[in-house]
Amino acid sequence: MRRGSLDTHMLRPLGLSADAELTYRCLVQQPRTELQPLAERLGWPLERTEAGVADLLELGLVRFSWENPRELHLVSPEASLVPLLNQHELVLLDRQKEVVASRVAIEQILTEYGDRVANSGYADAERLVGVDNVRLRLEALISEVEFELLGFSDGGPQSEESLAAARPLDQALLCRGVQIRGIYLESLVNDGHTARYVDWLSERGARIRTVATLPLRMIVADRKAVLVPMDATDSSQGALLIRDAGVVAALLALFEVIWEQSSVFGARRTGRDEVGLSRQERAVVRLLAEGHTDDVVARRLGVSVRTCRRLVADLMIRLDAHSRFQAGVAVMRAGWLLDDDSLMPAPVSSDSA
């Protein structure tokens, strides 16, 4: 049996281990056999073969003969494997609904938190309304930073004028020896103004990385204060300056997790994941599965709506889907929504931190 040529991961989402899948594929070639001949075909010890068969028995994919209890029979895939897949699809649909419901709940909590800040004068949070108030408070906050500034920069490219206005603030921080770490969207690598500004920052000691998508815009000052938008989808609504130790610690942990998953700005991509998706394509799949519109997905990726729709169209072609509903079913069957916390291998870079 040519085991090396088989992909032993395609049935993993259904609950089959690699050994169980190899055993199952072997039985497909010879649906009736005993354990010892099966072990010989697999080239395994009898104990390992028995373990693989035990997994298949538990899932109802094989059974022992009623006439000869030593003989193993493959249950028809139509009667066993297809129902198992259908059951798995239902589980994934429930999971998708839970993700959407969780996001709605989180947005409600943020809204309630913001209302509490506004109505109770909560000492550990400050509500800032209006772009001018936010910018003035941000400038004051940055001027007070002593040792570290962290940030998420979501959204599309900034204008050359905006970057020029930010340069004196960043220059002052770097001259004071403040450590700067920032995470940008991968789509900004192709923006000339942003790339030149990041080069300028990096030459002075700042460390900038990229990811396919970011949850929100955020600035963390000296691990003591965090500035986040009151509405992640509309920054014009204002911002919250939070000093509550518990909330700051949670957002700081979020930053560190995404930092570990990021790549050095402009570094060569490590390629595609085990199912052939780039990090940007994987982000599109996840955001659409959460129920977001093309407009929201485009904003989260920092690309135009036209580019977002092109990415979606390319994915639908690869899935051989003629509608988004068909694409959703195909995504689940392909297992593209599984193991979402380990979508791509860690990038190899010269940035050791």
What is the CATH code for 3-75?
1.10.10.10
Tell me, yes or no, if the two domains 3-75 and 279-342 fold the same way: yes
Topology given in CATH for the domain delimited by 279-342: Arc Repressor Mutant, subunit A (1.10.10)
The residue extents of the domains of the chain are: 3-75, 76-118, 123-264, 279-342
Sign of CA dihedral 85, 91, 92, 97: positive
pLDDT at 271: 56
Q: How many angstroms separate the CA atoms of 314 and 44, rounded? A: 42
Q: Taking Cα atoms as reference points, which of 53, 33, 41 lies closest to residue 3?
A: 41
Whole-structure pTM value: 0.51
**Beta-carbon neighbour count of residue 128 at 10 Å?**
19
Token pair for 20: 């169980």
Helix ranges (DSSP H) in 233-337: 245-261, 279-289, 294-301, 305-319, 324-334
Q: Taking Cα atoms as reference points, which of 273, 236, 257, 286 lies closest to residue 152?
A: 257
Contact of 80 with 60, CB cutoff 8 Å: yes
- Tens place of pLDDT per residue across the chain (353 aa): 444 444 556 777 777 888 888 999 999 999 999 999 999 999 999 889 888 888 888 888 999 888 888 899 999 888 888 888 888 788 778 777 777 777 677 667 666 766 665 555 555 778 888 778 888 888 888 888 889 999 998 777 777 888 888 888 888 888 888 999 999 888 888 788 888 888 898 888 889 998 888 888 899 999 999 998 887 767 777 888 988 888 888 888 888 888 887 888 876 555 565 566 777 787 887 777 777 788 878 877 777 788 888 888 888 787 777 777 777 777 777 667 654 433 333 333 334 33
Q: Which residues pair with 211 in a beta bridge?
A: 185
Cα 327–chain centre separation: 19
Is 123-264 a CATH 3.30.870.10 domain?
yes
